[in-house]
A and B are shown apart, each in its own frame.
Chain A
Amino acid sequence: MHVAPGRAAGRAGWPSVACIEVGGGGVETVVLGGPEPVVLQGAAPPDGLPVLMAVPGLIEGDRVLAASNLDWWNVDPAAQLGVDRSATLLLNDAEAAALGESALRDGADLVYVGLGTGVGGAVVRDEVVVGANLLGHGGAFSDIACPCGLTGCLETVAAGWALPDPLPAENLPGVAAAVATAVRDDPLAASGPAGGLVVVAGGMSRRHPDLVAAIARALPERVVEPSAAPVA
């Protein structure tokens, strides 16, 4: 087991838990409750800690009903990962990330835009996810067929699967404009106070930090910030 101590400081008051985040690109365990978060590669919860899980897929009860990127269909995620105990809490990964961005900002209301292999949006108010599975699908951003069955979804112009990697700098304004339009056009994301917070996170934003600034320029009526998650 490779152990990579997290560099960013943790915050006092976090419970002692092992959080397993499952993604298309890998699995990592973040241990909270100490002076710093500790990142363990793979599903490696220390003994004695409650296991909390975030999985990119549709959650039903204690099972992941469908996670197409993982080829998981109606599975117990703990068994799938070889973890010796069931998850105490199981969340969809985008919803968990949205709640986390809020938690790292002392419970701020926000619109979460996750730009990764796909595009996921969520709205958090009063530390509750009041809207999920937003932004990625629907709209008329292109004439490209989306894997979801629709045509022209935001994903067709802003998701990792649809864009060249690395993303040329000249493409950033176009992606940013599309994301801004999607936020403005979504009734839930667009509602709320003027100047409301929009958090742009996900693998694309980490690989292309200028993308957040480009979205901020395209969405001047909102406060746009990158993820507050510590960089490990």
Chain B
Amino acid sequence: MKSAAAWGLARAYLRFGAASTRDGFDREHLVLSTRRLPATPVRSRSRTTLAGLSDAWQRTARGGTPDWTRLRGALDMLAQHPELLPDALESRPKPSGSAVMDALLAGIADKLADDARLPRPTWTKRIPRLKSEWSAPGTPAMLAARRAATPPQLKERGLVLDESSLWRDRVVAAYVANLTGAPEHAEPTPS
């Protein structure tokens, strides 16, 4: 290893990497020459809540798509800081304007609660199941694989979305374990 730079970068990312410039991030909080780049516009640690993700939906010509970067960033943060979970789950997100996004946030909230053995938030019961199944575009084989790897909390809401599309910590744990031959410290990624 050339230096401790990787750990400095990682610590900086943990402290400030999830803070977007629009959240008031000040580069001088970190180092003199640091810039937070706008490529990962997710919320700060203290504001990582499901309610804060209600606008993480991007309208497209074909309807819309979740802002995967924001969702993954928030879930990364919650995986690393499970103490934030109770607050993160507490408030119901505002209606996003997309039934898919509303169902996705509810499914994510239920899964986070189940995984942490917390009670499911009461607001998720009020989010209806999708009238028709939703999945990101893909070939039949991709959809079949995705369906098989969809967590039950998402499946019961009509979403077809493999777990590793959201919880990338598990992808990396499997990746690193595969490289090093070490036992995984997280659940293997369904494939």
Interface residues of chain A, those whose CB is within 8 Å of chain B, are: 3, 5-6, 8, 12-17, 19, 21, 23, 25-26, 28, 30-39, 46, 48-50, 52-54, 58-62, 85-93, 95-104, 114, 127-132, 201-202, 227-232
- Bound: A98/B2 CA distance, A: 13
Taking residues whose C-beta sits less than 8 angstroms from the other chain, chain B's interface range is 35 or more
- Bound: A230/B4 CA distance, A: 8
Say whether A5 contacts B4, CB under 8 Å. no
- Bound: A229/B8 CA distance, A: 10
Say whether B9 contacts A53, CB under 8 Å. yes
Say whether B1 contacts A127, CB under 8 Å. no
Say whether A127 contacts B175, CB under 8 Å. no
CB of B107 closer than 8 Å to a CB of A: no
B139 CB contacts on chain A under 8 angstroms: none
Nearest A residue to B34 via CB reads: A91
Q: Residue among A21, A36, A50, A61 with the most chain B CB within 10 A?
A: A50
- Bound: A128/B175 CA distance, A: 32
Say whether B4 contacts A103, CB under 8 Å. yes
Q: Main SS of the interface on chain A?
A: mixed
The 10 closest A-B pairs by CB, nearest first: A34-B176, A100-B4, A99-B8, A100-B8, A100-B7, A19-B6, A30-B6, A129-B31, A96-B5, A103-B11
Nearest A residue to B7 via CB reads: A100
- Bound: A8/B182 CA distance, A: 12
A49 CB contacts on chain B under 8 angstroms: 168, 172
* Contact flag A202-B30 (CB < 8 Å), given A36-B180, A99-B12: no
Interface residues of chain B, those whose CB is within 8 Å of chain A, are: 1-15, 17, 29-37, 39-40, 76, 80, 168-169, 171-173, 175-177, 179-185
- Bound: A96/B1 CA distance, A: 14
Say whether B34 contacts A19, CB under 8 Å. no
Q: Which of A61, A100, A129 contacts B35 (CB 8 A)?
A: A61
Q: Smallest Cβ distance from B180 to chain A, in angstroms?
A: 5
* Contact flag A34-B9 (CB < 8 Å), given A28-B1, A89-B37, A90-B37: no
- Bound: A36/B9 CA distance, A: 16
Say whether A91 contacts B180, CB under 8 Å. no
B13 CB contacts on chain A under 8 angstroms: 15, 17, 50, 52, 88-89
Say whether B37 contacts A228, CB under 8 Å. no
- Bound: A88/B16 CA distance, A: 11
Q: Smallest Cβ distance from A120 to chain B, in angstroms?
A: 11
- Bound: A85/B72 CA distance, A: 16
Q: Which of A21, A87, A90, A128 contacts B2 (CB 8 A)?
A: A21
**Can you sample 11 A-B contacts with CB below 8 Å?**
A5-B180, A14-B7, A21-B6, A46-B172, A52-B17, A54-B6, A62-B37, A99-B9, A99-B11, A101-B4, A229-B1
Say whether A35 contacts B176, CB under 8 Å. yes
A46 CB contacts on chain B under 8 angstroms: 172, 175
* Contact flag A34-B34 (CB < 8 Å), given A49-B168, A88-B13: no
